[in-house]
């Protein structure tokens, strides 16, 4: 087995900004009514996310979530909610792509435009068992957007 140097967890995985989002999640609470509602579940570890979006004229006007899970999945959800608030659906899609590139394709976050604070989650890459936790809200958002764009705008207005 490859020997790895002891690393400091604090700056690699559990960065202060991640812990801050975990302790004080932004956008917590589901929106009602909402234009998009999506549920995500990681059967391996039981983490769950419910995501709701209000969309006006192709812009994300409001984001709200409920969920339970580890610091990584919850911080990722909170940070994602902050990032997509006010963005266009197209930008949201781009962000999903960039986040995926950072976590799954090993892209250097500094080469990814607009990744912002999400860069803090790049340390998760080294923990194969935790990548799914960080991805959970993003795959949930992607599934929800797909439904929304497929024309299933839930009743409401």
- Contact segment (CB under 8 A) with other proteins among 58-66, 96-104, 126-134, 142-150 equals 126-134
Nearest to 19 by CA among 67, 76, 63, 64: 76
Q: Report the residue number, 13 or 79, with the smaller CB distance to other proteins.
A: 13
Q: Binding to other proteins by residue 9, rule CB under 8 A?
A: yes
Within 10 A of 123 (CB to CB), how many other CB atoms are there? 19
Within 10 A of 108 (CB to CB), how many other CB atoms are there? 10
When binding is defined by CB under 8 A, the residue of 40, 64, 69, 109 that contacts other proteins is 69
Q: Binding to other proteins by residue 101, rule CB under 8 A?
A: no
Binding to other proteins (CB under 8 A) within 25-44 occurs at 44
Q: Binding to other proteins by residue 23, rule CB under 8 A?
A: yes
Least distance in Å: CB of 6 to other proteins? 4
Within 10 A of 70 (CB to CB), how many other CB atoms are there? 17
Least distance in Å: CB of 68 to other proteins? 6
Bridge partners, 64 (sequence order): 52
Q: Binding to other proteins by residue 121, rule CB under 8 A?
A: no
Cα distance between the two ends of the chain? 58
Q: Binding to other proteins by residue 46, rule CB under 8 A?
A: yes
Q: Binding to other proteins by residue 4, rule CB under 8 A?
A: yes
Q: Which residues contact 151 (CB under 8 A, 6 or more apart)?
A: none
When binding is defined by CB under 8 A, the residue of 30, 32, 39, 68 that contacts other proteins is 68
Q: Report the residue number, 23 or 146, with the smaller CB distance to other proteins.
A: 23
């Amino acid at each position: 087995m490859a020997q790895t140097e002891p690393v400091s967890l604090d700056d690699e995985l559990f960065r202060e900004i991640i812990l801050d989002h975990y302790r004080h999640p932004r956008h917590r609470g589901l929106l009602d009514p909402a234009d998009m509602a999506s549920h995500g579940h990681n059967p391996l570890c039981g983490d769950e996310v419910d995501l709701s979006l209000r969309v006006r004229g192709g812009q994300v006007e409001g984001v709200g979530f409920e969920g339970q899970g580890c610091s990584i999945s919850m911080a990722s959800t909170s940070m994602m909610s902050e990032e997509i608030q006010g963005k266009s659906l197209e930008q949201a899609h781009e962000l999903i792509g960039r986040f995926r590139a950072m976590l799954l394709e090993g892209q250097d976050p500094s080469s990814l435009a607009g990744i912002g604070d999400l860069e803090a989650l790049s340390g998760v890459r080294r923990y194969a068992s935790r990548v799914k936790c960080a991805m959970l809200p993003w795959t949930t958002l992607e599934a929800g957007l797909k439904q929304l764009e497929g024309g299933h705008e839930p009743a409401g207005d």
